[in-house]
Amino acid sequence: MKNLLGQSDDQTIANAIREGAFLVDVRTPAEFASGSVPGAVNIPLNDVGARVAEFKNKKGIVVFCRSGNRSSQAKSILERNGIKGVINGGTWDHVASIKQGL
């Protein structure tokens, strides 16, 4: 399943977080308000294409959502717009658990 969604392994996500990655929750504002990764910003999937400029010049980017589906789509949108180094972190609670373990 991880390969299908294009998710990276936990070590890659952990390294990106350690290096100060831009953490982006692509769920809706209501979902984000119910809990997310500490330090993450909310850029809903439907807004990612219009907000590409916010991703430029970031050292690393980890996108995540509820199931990994929307983050996979966000990663594709960003890559099509020339943003490199985007990691699909999968679910927000998975990324939060990795960050908490650092």
Q: Any idea which residues carry the catalytic annotation?
A: 65
Burial class (CB in 10 A: 0-12, 13-18, 19+), 80: exposed
Instruction: Give pairs for 41-48: CB < 8 Å, separation 24+.
Output: 45/70, 45/73, 45/74, 48/74, 48/77, 48/78
